């Protein structure tokens, strides 16, 4: 029995020792993948029992400079401090004991370089190609005369009614293109609608006020309204002062617009663009003045306020679809149809992804995840 226990103990210790010795101790250096150069990736596999390690760098294998103190737990370190592409860097990983003395060191070297492609974003490329090709295909189809259907968007059908009402009442219309600059797609979408609205205003010989809070938006809105009057055949009726700047300040702008709503009493107000905290202040003042209110934004936190206080609200993407809806122009209709195909692809991918996840297959999710 004693022999048996002795053999068992010896075997156990032997296996334990083998496990310890067999642990693959390694230290490697390589160019950090998928970057624009200037970084080297260091990886190591060191027993976790060591308290600390020091990484040193050299360009001549002689004069090493300490660059970081790391824990074995980390497993990787990216050195991106003053790294020049094409220069070979030598690294030393010194393993310290509890007293801080070096008990072992490992060496590795690597060159940094920039990559042409970031392979982590292949999924983004595939999605772009799919979306781009479907949009291009439908644009060309529409240009060739294929009839493309677009569903009814209630708020946009009332534009003509609002302009007519304003003309009958002898009151102006108010258009607010949001508080963001031209680098926001919602502002551009809003300005697209302004073009159609201004054309109707010109046709009906009504008036429109467009207060803005960004200089670039001022220039663009002026150009758009001027061109709309030209399209309507009434360039003489265009008043440059109808598009005017108030201030860049969010609440200063709101105070100004509120004043205009109260004093001018517009027959209809349009809030189409990117809005933040001012949405309810504007919409509530417009509601009090008795104007027909049409709003549209893709800001999820502001849509509820517009839904509550306006007659019609364009929710999210409806704002972007509005231009195609109003113009019926083949390029825009084709683009809209192409985007719908993109949405169908997203729905199918999502369904397949959920089913795969239920079976424990994570391939699709991992592939689509961009880093």
Partner 1 sequence: MAILMDRIGIWIGVFLTFAIFSFLYKDNPFYKIAEQIFIGISAGYWFIYTIYNILIPNLFIPVTSDFTHNFILLIPAFLGILMLCRLIPSIDWVSRYALAVVIGTTAGLFFKRYLQSDVLNQLTATMLNPFASSNAVQIIGELILIIGTLTGIVYFFFSKKHEGAFGTTAKIGIYFLMVSFGAAFGYTVMARISLLIGRLNFLLGDWLGIIKP
- Among left, alpha and beta (phi > 0; psi -120 to 50; other), residue 65 is beta
Position 233 contacts partner 1 (CB under 8 A): no
Strand order in the sheet with 40-45: 26-31, 40-45, 76-79
Nearest distance, CB of residue 268 and partner 1, angstroms: 20
Cα–Cα distance measured from residue 109 to residue 100, given in angstroms and rounded to the nearest whole number: 25
Position 343 contacts partner 1 (CB under 8 A): yes
In a 3-state reduction of DSSP, which class is residue 18?
helix
Q: Which is nearer to partner 1, 210 or 336 (CB)?
A: 336
The one segment of 20-28, 60-68, 96-104, 255-263 that binds partner 1 by CB under 8 A: 255-263
Site for partner 1 in 108-137 (CB under 8 A): 121, 123-124, 127-128, 131
Q: Which is nearer to partner 1, 109 or 158 (CB)?
A: 158
Contact 238, 229 (CB under 8 A): yes
Q: Which is nearer to partner 1, 123 or 207 (CB)?
A: 123
Among 81, 259, 290, 329, binds partner 1 (CB under 8 A): 259
- Among left, alpha and beta (phi > 0; psi -120 to 50; other), residue 153 is beta
Position 151 contacts partner 1 (CB under 8 A): yes
Position 315 contacts partner 1 (CB under 8 A): yes
Q: Which is nearer to partner 1, 45 or 370 (CB)?
A: 370
Other CB atoms within a 10 A radius of the CB of residue 81 amount to: 10
In a 3-state reduction of DSSP, which class is residue 36?
strand
Tokens of 38: 């200037």
- Residues belonging to the chain: 371
First to last CA, the chain: 59
Site for partner 1 in 16-45 (CB under 8 A): none
Among 75, 143, 307, 328, binds partner 1 (CB under 8 A): 307
Among 8, 17, 140, 251, binds partner 1 (CB under 8 A): 251
Q: Which is nearer to partner 1, 36 or 104 (CB)?
A: 36
Site for partner 1 in 263-292 (CB under 8 A): 263, 277, 280
Residue with tokens 């970057």: 35
Q: Which is nearer to partner 1, 268 or 321 (CB)?
A: 321
Query: How wide is the angle at C-alpha 369 spanned by C-alphas 343 and 348, nearest 5°?
Result: 30
Among 167, 203, 206, 220, binds partner 1 (CB under 8 A): 220
- Reference 201, options 246, 258, 267; nearest CA is 267
Among 246, 264, 287, 331, binds partner 1 (CB under 8 A): 246
Site for partner 1 in 347-366 (CB under 8 A): 347, 349-351, 353-354, 356-358, 360, 364-365
Contact 2, 20 (CB under 8 A): no
Tokens of 364: 């699709």
Site string for partner 1, 153-172 (x = CB under 8 A): x-------------------
Contact 202, 229 (CB under 8 A): yes
Site for partner 1 in 43-82 (CB under 8 A): none
The one segment of 20-28, 61-69, 163-171, 333-341 that binds partner 1 by CB under 8 A: 333-341
Among 173, 188, 201, 232, binds partner 1 (CB under 8 A): 188
Handedness of CA 173, 178, 179, 182 (dihedral sign): negative
Q: Which is nearer to partner 1, 74 or 216 (CB)?
A: 216
Among 10, 20, 122, 308, binds partner 1 (CB under 8 A): 308
Q: Which is nearer to partner 1, 97 or 128 (CB)?
A: 128
Cα–Cα distance measured from residue 306 to residue 302, given in angstroms and rounded to the nearest whole number: 7
Other CB atoms within a 10 A radius of the CB of residue 237 amount to: 15
């Amino acid at each position: 029995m004693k022999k048996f226990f002795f053999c068992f103990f010896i075997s156990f210790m032997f296996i334990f020792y083998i496990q310890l010795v067999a642990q693959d101790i390694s230290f490697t250096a390589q160019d950090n993948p998928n970057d624009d150069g200037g970084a080297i990736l260091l990886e190591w596999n060191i027993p976790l029992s060591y308290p600390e390690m020091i990484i040193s760098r050299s360009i001549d294998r002689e004069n090493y400079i300490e660059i970081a103190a790391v824990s074995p737990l980390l497993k990787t370190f990216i050195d991106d401090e003053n790294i020049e592409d094409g220069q070979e860097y030598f690294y030393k990983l010194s393993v310290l004991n509890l007293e801080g003395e070096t008990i072992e060191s490992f060496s590795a070297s690597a060159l940094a370089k920039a990559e042409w492609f970031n392979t982590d974003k292949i999924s983004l490329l595939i999605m772009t190609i799919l979306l781009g090709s479907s949009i291009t295909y439908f644009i060309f189809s529409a240009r060739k005369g294929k009839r493309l259907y677009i569903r009814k968007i209630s708020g946009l059908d009332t534009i003509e009614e609002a302009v007519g009402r304003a003309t009958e009442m002898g009151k102006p219309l108010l258009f607010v293109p949001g508080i963001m600059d031209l680098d926001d797609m919602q502002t551009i979408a809003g300005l697209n609608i302004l073009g159609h609205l201004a054309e109707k205003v010109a046709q009906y010989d009504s008036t429109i006020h467009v207060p803005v809070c960004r200089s670039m938006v001022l220039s663009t809105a002026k150009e758009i309204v001027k061109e709309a009057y030209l399209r309507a055949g009434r360039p003489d009726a265009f008043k440059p002062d109808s598009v005017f700047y108030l201030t860049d300040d969010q609440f200063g702008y709101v105070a100004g617009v509120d004043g205009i709503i109260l004093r001018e009493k517009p027959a209809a107000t349009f809030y189409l663009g990117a809005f933040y905290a001012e949405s309810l202040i504007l919409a509530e003042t417009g509601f009090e003045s008795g104007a027909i209110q049409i709003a549209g934004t893709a800001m999820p936190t502001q849509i509820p306020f517009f839904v509550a206080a306006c007659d019609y609200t364009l929710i999210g993407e409806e704002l972007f679809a509005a231009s195609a809806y109003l113009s019926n122009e083949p390029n825009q209709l084709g683009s809209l149809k192409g985007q719908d195909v993109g949405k169908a692809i997203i729905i199918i991918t999502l369904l397949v992804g959920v089913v795969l996840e239920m079976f424990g297959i994570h391939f699709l999710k991992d592939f689509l995840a961009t880093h």
